[in-house]
Every structure is written in C-alpha cells, then in structure tokens.
C-alpha cells in the first residue's frame, strides 16, 4: 500500500514535470531580478578600537577594576549609540538620518577574551559606510575621554574600501532559496492535489480499486487546428474524417495505443472464444462509444467481420456513422417488425456493419429485460467474427447488467479523472454480481504517455481475484 502511494505521487509529479520546471524557473528568475534590480544593496564597514590595559590616568585602581569587569564594553556600547555621539557624527557628515535611525545601523562587537572591539556600520552606500564607521570611532574616542576622564581608547584599524564588503542581497543564497522553496512548494502542491483527488487516473488505481487488469491506455486525441476555424471535437463519432487518424505527433501515439489495445485483445478473443463484447462505463461521456467505434474499425481493417450494435437507449450514437436515412434498428428487430437484413446497415468501412438502436419503446426495453438479445446473438455470431455492443452507462441504465449476461465479455472504460474510486469499484462489483465476464479495463484520456502493461499476466491475476471473490 505504501509503495503504491509513493508511486502514485511520483507519477503525479512526473507527468507535470514541465509545469514544475516552469514554476521553478519563474521563482528563480524573479528572485534574481529582485536581488539585482529591486533590492537596495547594503555594505558593511568596520573600524577597530583598542582599550589600553595600561592607562595613563592617576586613578589606576579604579580603571583596572572596570577593565577586569567586562561591563566596560557595555558602557562603551551605550556611549557609541548615545545621542551625544550619533548627533555629532550626523552633523559632521551631513547625514539625512535621525540618531535613532543611525543607531540601528551600528553594531558593536567584542570578544570576551580581548581588549579589542569593533564598530560595524551597515549602509546602502559603501563610501558613506566607511566614513560613518571612521567618524564614529573618532568621535567616540574623544567623547569617552571627556566623559570618563580616561585616555585608554585608540583606533587601531580604520575602515577602508578594501576591507568593506557587500552584505546584501546575497544573490547566490537568494537563488538557492528560491530554487529549493519553489521545488518543495510545487511538489507539495502536486502531491496535495493528488491526495485530495479521489478519481481514478491510472492503471495502478484501477487494479487497486477494482482488481481489473488494464487492457489499454488511450491518450487524448487532438484534432488539427485551422485558421479562423476549429475542427470538431474528436470525441464525436459522427464524423468519419476523424477516424482517419490525422498524422500529428500526439495522434500517432493515440493510434499506437489503439493498436496496442487491439493486440492485447487478440489472445483473449482466441484462447477464451470471446466474440461478443459489451463496452460500458460508470458514467456517460467517458468515451466508450468512441473507443468501440475505433476498435471496430481496426478489427475490420485487420480482416475481421465486425458488427457494432447500438444498445445505448439513453444516448444512441452509432447511427451517425452510417449512410442512409433508415430509422429501423435493434428495437424494431427485437419487436419483430423488421428482419436482421433490414435493420443492419453497412458503414463506409469494408467489413464493418452497424445495427443502430432504432425506435426505442417500452416494449423493446421489456424485450431487453426478458433476454431478447440472447435469441438474436446465435444468428449474428454465424454472420460476424466479432460483435461489439455499445451499452449505456451503469450509473444511468440497467441495460449494461442485462447485456453483460448475454455477451461473452465486457470491456469497462474509465475516463481518467472523471470517476470517483468508490463509484468505479461499486460499478464493477455490480457487473460481477450479474455474472458478467469482465475482460479488463480501458483507461481513456490518459494524461501520461501510454504504457505497455503486462496484460496477460494481470489477466491471470484478475481471474484469481474473481475466483476468490466467488
């Protein structure tokens, strides 16, 4: 379980690697721009002072007592940041600062084991920082002599251009922080989105939630765009020009995934004598009619005699790919008002015939429920190698469960990101309770590149799962 979740989150990041790179590049670029062109640079200048341990004043005992006690440095710190010293520095250098503002820019540092302490000034202008540090040291030396009657403080190291340095912004550090934080934020956002998303989006989730093997993973079909006009949606099955597989790079991968789906089905059709297949899904608009149509075309192009039956009473679609104006179809055939030759019509693809829904009525639906299709299928199996039945969605119709009993197998379509895990599991469980033989699942609108799952091995595992559940 833990390994599955890690793979799931890793896949979520991997399929959005382009967006991750874009986010990181934007963050790094913004950080670099702000560091170079927006943030005001700050420079550091330092002057060093020495507290003489051999003072020249007469009150030697008192001074030694102060020096041995480190409170003298704290006293000097207060004097350096006092208004008396700061105001005189401001006046001498004509600074546009208040004493409180200048005091925040000054830092006094002393080592407890040393008589040397430093005055450090951070200022936006490097030359001004040097002047302020040196002036502070000079004014303090004079003032401390006047205030404490001592002559034991001398400047040993003046602030210079060579010794001053730029404190901020640190471009390298800012870029590194932006790189790390943006990567962590993007990966965290992708993982959180994946955690909060309860829909099925991968073959691993299909197997984990339903126990079904994945026969094929189909990508998103992208019709060619033209100036001032867009081609029709590729999901539509009413336009046979879309079935000619326009040779764009993405669409070639979709064609390959359909071929892979067909090749995966061939051993099942042969070894398990599956000739009648129902294609269904949990909800409508998951692409089952499109998949059935393209699969039927591929089978017909590979020499099979194929019949596609439209048994979707709620949303019939297969009539749109046939020439002619006839309205007779499956419902009329069930009621006995027409013959099979009258209801079945050829498509523009050689070897591919279509039996449309026809005139839906309460009587025809009753014939469905009574198993009327069982009486028709033996004759149709003699005329065709493969029969593909387009049923309604399980969430909106009871026909898929009825049709599944009559068929040799069921293909279950999952559209990536559309079906909640619990809904998919319940739909598959309902089919199993109807004694349906589920061949496997087809993942439609797959966001990543189509994989090459070991279907036959997964099929064996699926059978074991079904036997254990039975």
Domain ranges of the chain: 2-38+170-193, 42-168, 200-223+232-469
CA dist., res. 110 & res. 132, Å (int):
19
Residue 116 is predicted with a pLDDT of 82
Q: Does domain 200-223+232-469 fall into CATH 3.40.50.720?
A: no
Assess contact for 345 and 356: CB atoms under 8 A: yes
Helix axes 421-433, 399-406, angle to 10 degrees: 50
**Strands 438-444 and 214-217, how do they pair?**
parallel
CA dist., res. 419 & res. 105, Å (int):
61
Assess contact for 413 and 216: CB atoms under 8 A: no
Judged on CB neighbours under 10 Å (0-12, 13-18, 19+), 167 is middle
Name residue, tokens 């471009």. 171
- Tell me how far CA of residue 319 lies from CA of 131, 325, 353, 383, in angstroms: 90, 9, 11, 20
Residue 427 is predicted with a pLDDT of 93
Name residue, tokens 């009753």. 366
- Tell me how far CA of residue 42 lies from CA of 86, 99, 117, 342, in angstroms: 20, 19, 22, 89
Which stretches of 52-152 are assigned E, i.e. beta strand? 106-110, 116-123
CA dist., res. 304 & res. 283, Å (int):
30
Q: Report the SS3 class of residue 240.
A: helix
Assess contact for 312 and 392: CB atoms under 8 A: yes
Write down the pTM of the prediction.
Answer: 0.65
* Topology (CATH) of 42-168: Alpha-Beta Plaits (3.30.70)
Name residue, tokens 């010794």. 163
| 415-465 pLDDT per residue, tens | 998 999 999 999 999 999 888 899 999 999 876 555 555 565 566 556 655
Residue 1 is predicted with a pLDDT of 52
How many CB atoms sit inside 10 A of residue 37's CB?
A: 7
Helix axes 249-271, 455-469, angle to 10 degrees: 50
Which DSSP symbol is given to 356?
A: -
Helix (H) and strand (E) counts in the chain? 18, 15
CA dist., res. 257 & res. 234, Å (int):
16
Q: Which residue ranges in the chain fall short of pLDDT 50?
A: 55-59, 61-63, 65-69, 226-246
């Amino acid at each position: 379980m833990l390994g599955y979740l890690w793979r799931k989150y890793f896949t979520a990041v991997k399929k959005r690697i382009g967006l991750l790179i874009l986010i990181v590049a934007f963050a790094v670029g913004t950080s670099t721009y702000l560091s170079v062109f927006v943030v005001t640079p700050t420079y550091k200048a330092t002057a060093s002072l020495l507290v003489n341990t051999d003072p020249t004043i007469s009150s030697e005992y008192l001074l030694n007592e102060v020096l041995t006690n480190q409170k003298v440095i704290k006293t000097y710190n207060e004097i350096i940041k006092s208004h008396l010293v700061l105001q005189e520095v401001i006046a001498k250098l004509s600074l546009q600062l208040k004493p409180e503002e200048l005091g925040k820019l000054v830092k006094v540092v002393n080592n407890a084991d040393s008589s040397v302490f430093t005055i450090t000034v951070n200022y936006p202008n490097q030359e001004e920082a040097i002047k302020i540090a040196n002036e502070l040291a000079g004014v303090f030396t004079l003032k401390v002599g006047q205030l404490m009657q001592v002559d034991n403080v001398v400047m040993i190291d003046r602030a210079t251009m060579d010794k001053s340095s730029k404190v901020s912004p640190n471009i390298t550090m800012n870029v590194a922080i932006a790189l790390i934080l943006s990567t962590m934020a993007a990966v965290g956002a992708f993982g959180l989105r994946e955690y909060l998303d309860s829909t099925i989006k991968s073959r691993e989730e299909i197997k984990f939630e339903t126990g079904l093997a994945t026969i094929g993973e189909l990508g998103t079909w992208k019709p060619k765009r033209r100036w001032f006009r867009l081609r029709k949606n590729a999901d539509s099955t009413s336009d046979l020009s879309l079935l000619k597989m326009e040779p764009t790079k993405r669409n070639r991968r979709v064609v390959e995934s359909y071929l892979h789906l067909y090749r995966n089905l061939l051993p099942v059709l042969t070894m398990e004598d599956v000739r009648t297949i129902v294609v269904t899904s949990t909800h409508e608009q998951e692409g089952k009619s499109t998949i059935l149509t393209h699969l039927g075309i591929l089978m017909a192009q590979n020499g099979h005699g194929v019949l596609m039956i439209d048994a979707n009473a709620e949303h019939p679609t297969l009539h749109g790919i046939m020439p002619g104006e006839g309205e007779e179809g499956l419902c009329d055939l069930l009621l006995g008002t027409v013959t099979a030759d009258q209801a079945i019509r050829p498509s523009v693809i050689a070897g591919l015939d279509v039996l449309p829904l026809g005139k839906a009525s309460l009587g025809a639906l009753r014939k469905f429920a009574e198993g009327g299709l069982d009486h028709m299928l033996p004759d149709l199996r003699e005329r065709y190698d493969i029969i593909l039945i387009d049923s309604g969605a399980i969430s909106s119709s009871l026909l898929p469960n009825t049709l599944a009993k009559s068929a040799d197998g069921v293909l279950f379509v999952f559209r990536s990101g559309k079906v909640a895990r619990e809904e998919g599991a319940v739909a598959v469980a309902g089919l199993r309770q109807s004694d349906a033989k589920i061949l496997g699942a087809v993942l439609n609108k797959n966001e990543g590149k189509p994989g090459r799952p070991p279907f036959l091995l997964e099929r064996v595992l699926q059978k074991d799962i079904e036997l254990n559940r039975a």
